[in-house]
Amino acid sequence: MATITGLTAERMLEIEAASVVDGDVVGDNLFLQKHDGTLINAGSVRGPIGPSGPMGSSLAVITAQPVLDVGMINQIRAGRQLTPADFTNMGLSAPLGLWNLGSLADSSGNGRNLSNKGAVPFGVGILGAAASAAVFSGSSGQALYIPDVGAADPFRIKGGTFGCWMRCAKKATLQGILTKYDDTVAGRRAWHLGVGGTSSAGVTLSNDGSIAQAFSVTGATDVCDDRWHFIVGTYDVGVMKIYIDSNLENFATGAPVNVPIFGTPAPLNIGGYNADAATAATQPFYGRVSNAFVTNEVLSDEQIRNLYCASVPHALGVAPAQVSMKVRRKRRGSPLAVSDFPSQPVRLHNFQNGALTDQGSNNVPVSNLSPTLILTSTGPDGVKDQAWHLAGAHLGLGSTDAGLPSGLNPRSYGIWFKSEQSTGVPGLIGWGAGGSSGAGAVLGLTSGSLYTQSGASAAITGPYVADGLWHFAVCVEENAPGDGLKQKVYLDGQLVLAGTPLSSIVLGGANRFRMGNYPDSAVAFIGQLSRGFVTSSVLTVEQIRALYNVGLQQLAPSPKSAADHLETIEAARMLTVFDSLDTCDLVDLAVLA
């Protein structure tokens, strides 16, 4: 019989004779029996009895759990509701104040509850739960505040850490988020965490209350993208730092060393600065705030990352000795189901098998207005006959716009597209009378860049997308938004455009709903279109990202190092960060006692 070992028969017999085939404990010693019958004393194996293992000492914590974005129900990407134990478990004191912002209550145990100026409402927060974040509209009449109580005021910190989760879509606007600061009266500046004119978060501190001794440090990330971010500022012996999503983004040492922060009599504010019962907020905030805290201790990089983590519970009862993790990747761009939307869209054209039918509540199929120039093609999910390819001077895919949102009623509309042109102003999806210069709505391209226009309002233009790749674009319009932004455009789940122009839509009737063209446009879109939809509701960024992530499982599970994603392992939970994974990935996570 052939062998593949490269060893002689004699050598293989020697190895067999030397191998261990049995063992037994005699007294305190372990005796191993070799294949040839001889014994080896492996020494004493007696020791103290170890702890009893729990019933079911290994279990799957999560299986095929999607890595949803922060702010969505069942998300495990990052973020949790903080408690005093999250600080004390790291050897820190309970924070001076901790406001989860499902109410005005202070969760630190110190009873430092907020006052509500301007009836600030509470809405969906970082875990997707209702009433877990304060919602600010950018009004100077709004703020949450605690009046200063004099020299003993606990928030007159000399150094320390302050931070919160925030979400904002208002770009290029100075906004205060968590502050004890006043520049309306000379000599009252102290500390300020907010958003600057570059749409990035920053910290400003003053050592004597004056502008001359006010120093700032700014992060690099654009945090005004309508997604949740964890922003934290620290000050210690003259060193300021700004952290975004647990990453140190910038620091400054310009402040005089060993000089404490000025003890201002200004009130503590969330949602602006210098606001109290009688005083309007300066730099009011446009967006949501959750889990704000202030402590007079300077947190380390690791401690800030710990607070940023998501909490994934397990049922072992002891800290796991081993954690395994696998990732299942998905391909995006599969057909959108009605159940993928919060309510049935009025139009939904998936183009499955080339069908022009409508799965929306209108049930109005589109027609191929240029049959020789518009042919079926592979969809964004790679499946044949799931899209239409449009070429030449075609008229697009059209139908009546009856039943679509009109006037200033709320609407969201989007489409998957792949562009092959970098010139002209073709429409991707739109409807209404008067074309793009009249009383209609259009989402399209201009010289290869994404743009949207609401009736006669000025168009707003976004990033270049004529790159030959599939993209998912969604426009959201509402007349009375909470953050003051009436029009938002998302590309591949990210906010890329935001503005205030919004005109009333007047319906036009036959063939005034188009995909790939616009009724009054001489420029036809060249490329591929799929999964077009219109809703009569305002989709949130979380709902848009969920639509973007709809896809088919493509690859078998891939082992990943759990250590790359675990920050802390405890007896009842693990603190995890899945930022490096895609939002359409599925995670399998198991623990072993």
3-class SS letters over 500-531: CCCCCECCCCCCCEEECCCCCCCCCCCEEEEE
- The residue with greater pLDDT, 2 or 287, is 287
List b or e across 516-541, with b for residues whose CB sees 16 or more CB atoms inside 10 angstroms. bbbbbbebbbbbbbbbbbbbbbebbb
pLDDT at 499: 84
Short-list 378, 329, 336, 328, CA closest to 548 = 336
Q: Is the pLDDT of residue 521 over 80?
A: no
Cβ-based burial of 207 (10 A; exposed 0-12, middle 13-18, buried ≥19): buried
3: confidence class by pLDDT, cuts 50, 70, 90: very low
Q: Is the pLDDT of residue 254 over 80?
A: no
Q: By mean pLDDT, which of 41-50, 371-380, 442-451 is the weakest?
A: 41-50
pLDDT at 475: 96
Contact assessment for residue 369 and residue 513, using Cβ atoms and an 8 Å cutoff: no
User: Which residue type sits at 500?
Assistant: T
pLDDT at 516: 94
Q: Is the pLDDT of residue 55 over 60?
A: no
Contact assessment for residue 517 and residue 527, using Cβ atoms and an 8 Å cutoff: no
Q: Is the pLDDT of residue 436 over 70?
A: no
Short-list 216, 260, 218, 263, CA closest to 238 = 260
Residues, the chain: 593
pLDDT at 12: 58
Mean pLDDT across the chain: 90
What sign does the dihedral 124-126-128-129 (CA atoms) show? negative
Percent of the chain with pLDDT over 70: 89
Q: What is the average pLDDT across 392-399?
A: 93
Percent of the chain with pLDDT over 90: 72
53: confidence class by pLDDT, cuts 50, 70, 90: very low
Q: What is the pTM of this model?
A: 0.84
459: confidence class by pLDDT, cuts 50, 70, 90: confident
Q: Is the pLDDT of residue 325 over 70?
A: yes
371: confidence class by pLDDT, cuts 50, 70, 90: very high
User: Which residue type sits at 214?
Assistant: A
pLDDT at 439: 76
338-553: CATH, from 2.60.40.2240, 3.40.640.10, 2.60.120.10, 2.60.120.200 = 2.60.120.200
Q: Is the pLDDT of residue 1 over 50?
A: no
pLDDT at 359: 98
Domains 84-308 and 338-553 in one fold? yes
Give the containing element (helix H, strand E) for 464: strand 460-464
Contact assessment for residue 396 and residue 388, using Cβ atoms and an 8 Å cutoff: no
DSSP string across 156-184? --SSEEEEEEEEE---S--EEEEEE---S
Q: Which residues contact 538 (CB under 8 A, 6 or more apart)?
A: 410, 411, 412, 476, 477, 478, 481
Domain range annotation of the chain = 17-42, 60-69+314-331+554-592, 84-308, 338-553
- The residue with greater pLDDT, 253 or 188, is 188
What are residue 215's DSSP bridge partners? Answer: 205
Residue 195 CA to residue 138 CA, distance in Å, equals 13
Q: Is the pLDDT of residue 72 over 80?
A: yes
Q: Is the pLDDT of residue 435 over 60?
A: no
| pLDDT tens readout for residues 464-513 | 999 999 999 999 999 988 888 899 999 999 999 888 878 889 999 999 99
| pLDDT tens readout for residues 422-432 | 888 899 999 99
pLDDT at 372: 94
Residue 304 CA to residue 514 CA, distance in Å, equals 50
| pLDDT tens readout for residues 13-40 | 666 666 666 676 676 677 667 766 677 6
Q: What is the average pLDDT across 357-361?
A: 98
Q: Is the pLDDT of residue 164 over 80?
A: yes
- The residue with greater pLDDT, 548 or 41, is 548
What is 84-308's CATH topology?
Answer: Jelly Rolls (2.60.120)
Q: By mean pLDDT, which of 407-411, 433-437, 523-527 is the weakest?
A: 433-437
564: confidence class by pLDDT, cuts 50, 70, 90: very high
379: confidence class by pLDDT, cuts 50, 70, 90: very high
Contact assessment for residue 125 and residue 229, using Cβ atoms and an 8 Å cutoff: no
